[in-house]
Amino acid sequence: MDTPDPSTLDAARMTRAQRAALPLSAEVAQALAEQHGVCIRPLAMRRIDTTTGRVEVVPVPCGSTRQDHCPSCAEKARRLRMAQCREGWHLDTEPTTGRTKPTEEHKELIAARADLLAAYTECKTHGDDLTCEQITESIADLDKELRALGVRGRLTPLDTPPKPLKRSTRRRHDAPDLPRRPIERRTLGQVFAGRYRPSTFLTLTLESYGRVDAHGAALDPDHYDYRQAARDAIHFPALLDRFWQNTRRCVGWDVQYFGTIEPQQRGAPHFHAALRGTIPRAELRAITAATYHQVWWPAHDQPIYHGDHVPVWNTRAKTFTDPDTGAPLPTWEQACQELTEPAHVVRFGTQVHVKGILGGTEEAGRHVGYLTKYLAKSMGQAAGLNEHATDAHRDHARRLHAELQVTPCSPRCAVWLLYGIQPKGARYSMTPGRCKGKAHQSEHLGIAGRRVLVSRKWSNKSLDDHRADRAEFVRQLLDATGIQPSHGVQDGPYRWERTAPTDPDIPPRPVLLLHALAERQRWKAEYTAAQLAANGAPPGDRSAIDDQAA
């Protein structure tokens, strides 16, 4: 079919097929937004200027981190992570973590809370429910006040939950013991030759589950250990926690890291981390080899129930029962009593990759890019499971997914019912075998939690702090060059309101997109003018403004 020449379009004389091939205005607006790094699926929010009373519906970025949902927001989020990674990697001064001293007010409130708590316990033992209720309310108010005054950490709950089950933490015999050094209060690495402060790039992988081809598909699917692969993936984040714990104990200082969980093509997760400072390679290898995580869950090797033959909820007894005998199934707590061995043990594979990196080098920049490269993709996409995947690769992914669907993801997972065990917190709304947890969905490959894991004293800033840094950078530049932002500083303060799609003042999406585009062009013009005024050069390809205005 001929594509009509847009300059001589006359819709009336076109065939139906030709008309159907014309771009829709909404698509044009979206393509334009994408090209300029503007959010393509903004939320319409009502902004009320509390000074002037002016009400406007404005587009607010969706904030997705997934490229296939919104390329502009995902790229913005990825760049923010890059900034976070870069900032902490080669710090040369300790991030300040000094807490402010508690004030008199803090102390008084905490003392009052302790008194109330004592009164509560007494009333409780006397069965004075009314007073208990009143005290509960007073404590809730106090807690609110304490939080508002900036008190962090756990406040003693009114009713202390029963102590968790004790179990042996005895090390397994097959794990080599690690040396333990007293922990120094430092997070920085050593300086060499008086000025070099190298840092580390580390990659940790899981074991082999069977040989794979060049695309990551099992060569012999019938003997590939999908069960272990699924369980290892689900417990991988816990294994990483153990790793950092062991590392700090073994090296004797407060090691900091910025790491990302990425899939290998075979579908198993691996971990890349920027680590501040250096640790001898042999030591890192020894720690990796010694690290394991035991999963103290009931055994779940053979499902007892399948298909439609699954446990039934008994409304009177408020418990799941066997579909044939009606006998109640063991609860989670019952099933966990007297466990003599862990249901699963996860450990790293033998491949440990360690590389020394000097700050400020091209190599450091490249590795920051490497660490954040796939963050805008789902685990599945990053493993190469897209339209170009081979049949064998797809089949491999299907088998892994099938295994993930019968692998419980947490003590609260409804999959436990297939193994004849009531999950923790079992209730009538659970469907046996159906859990909405991310770990069971094919695109997540067993990884339900966060993809980016950052230690607390990495850059000592939250993502919001990093975001604010960038906004501040642009503001200062505009300020320094005397450029007045076109939305005057005299505007606001604003109050924000959600909107419903049926509200009469909501503009159609293309209009909202064009609004966002116009706003961005204005920002960009202001920023370019400021750059020119500041150093006589227009800004580089992508810069703070891109992250700021999108």
Binding site for Zn ion (CB under 5 A): 39, 61-62, 70, 73, 409, 413, 435, 437
DSSP label of 41: S
> Please, which residue, 284 or 310, has the CB nearer to Zn ion?
310
43 DSSP β-pair partners: 60
> Please, which residue, 61 or 277, has the CB nearer to Zn ion?
61
Here the tokens at position 282 are 């042999």
Secondary structure of the chain: what % helix, strand, coil (to 5)? 40, 15, 45
**Short-list 350, 93, 384, CA closest to 214:** 384
Q: Are the CB atoms for 205 and 270 separated by under 8 Å?
A: yes
| H helical segments located in 175-263 | 226-251
Q: What is the DSSP string of 267-295?
A: S-EEEEEEESS---HHHHHHHHHH-EEEE
Q: Smallest distance from the beta carbon of 376 to Zn ion, in angstroms?
A: 11
> Please, which residue, 106 or 438, has the CB nearer to Zn ion?
438
Task: Return all residues near 37 (Cβ < 8 A) that are at least 6 apart.
Answer: 72, 75, 76, 520, 546, 549, 550
> Please, which residue, 73 or 474, has the CB nearer to Zn ion?
73
> Please, which residue, 38 or 354, has the CB nearer to Zn ion?
38
> Please, which residue, 73 or 146, has the CB nearer to Zn ion?
73
Q: Smallest distance from the beta carbon of 418 to Zn ion, in angstroms?
A: 11
> Please, which residue, 73 or 275, has the CB nearer to Zn ion?
73
Q: What is the DSSP string of 286-337?
A: HHHHH-EEEE-S---SS-S-BTTB--EEETTTTEEE-TTT-PBPPPHHHHHT
Q: Smallest distance from the beta carbon of 484 to Zn ion, in angstroms?
A: 28
Q: Smallest distance from the beta carbon of 384 to Zn ion, in angstroms?
A: 25
Q: Smallest distance from the beta carbon of 148 to Zn ion, in angstroms?
A: 32
> Please, which residue, 124 or 227, has the CB nearer to Zn ion?
227
Question: For residues 14 and 295, what is the distance between their CA atoms, to the nearest angstrom?
Answer: 66
Q: Smallest distance from the beta carbon of 77 to Zn ion, in angstroms?
A: 9
* 192-225: b (≥16 Cβ within 10 Å) or e: eeeeebbbbbbbbbbeebbebeebbbbeeeeebe
> Please, which residue, 196 or 296, has the CB nearer to Zn ion?
296
State the burial class of residue 511 (Cβ atoms within 10 Å of its Cβ: 0-12, 13-18, 19+).
Answer: middle
Q: Count Cβ atoms below 10 Å from residue 11 Cβ, excluding itself.
A: 9
**Short-list 401, 209, 415, CA closest to 300:** 415
Q: Smallest distance from the beta carbon of 32 to Zn ion, in angstroms?
A: 14
Q: Smallest distance from the beta carbon of 74 to Zn ion, in angstroms?
A: 8
Q: Smallest distance from the beta carbon of 223 to Zn ion, in angstroms?
A: 27
**What amino acid is encoded at 88 in this protein?**
G
Tell me the C-alpha to C-alpha distance, in Å, between residue 217 and each of 383, 390, 393: 11, 9, 5
Q: Smallest distance from the beta carbon of 69 to Zn ion, in angstroms?
A: 7
> Please, which residue, 409 or 453, has the CB nearer to Zn ion?
409
Query: Cα Rg for the chain, rounded, in angstroms?
Result: 29
Task: Return all residues near 407 (Cβ < 8 A) that are at least 6 apart.
Answer: 227, 230, 231, 234, 300, 415, 439, 440, 446
> Please, which residue, 437 or 492, has the CB nearer to Zn ion?
437
Question: For residues 210 and 230, what is the distance between their CA atoms, to the nearest angstrom?
Answer: 13
Q: Smallest distance from the beta carbon of 416 to Zn ion, in angstroms?
A: 9
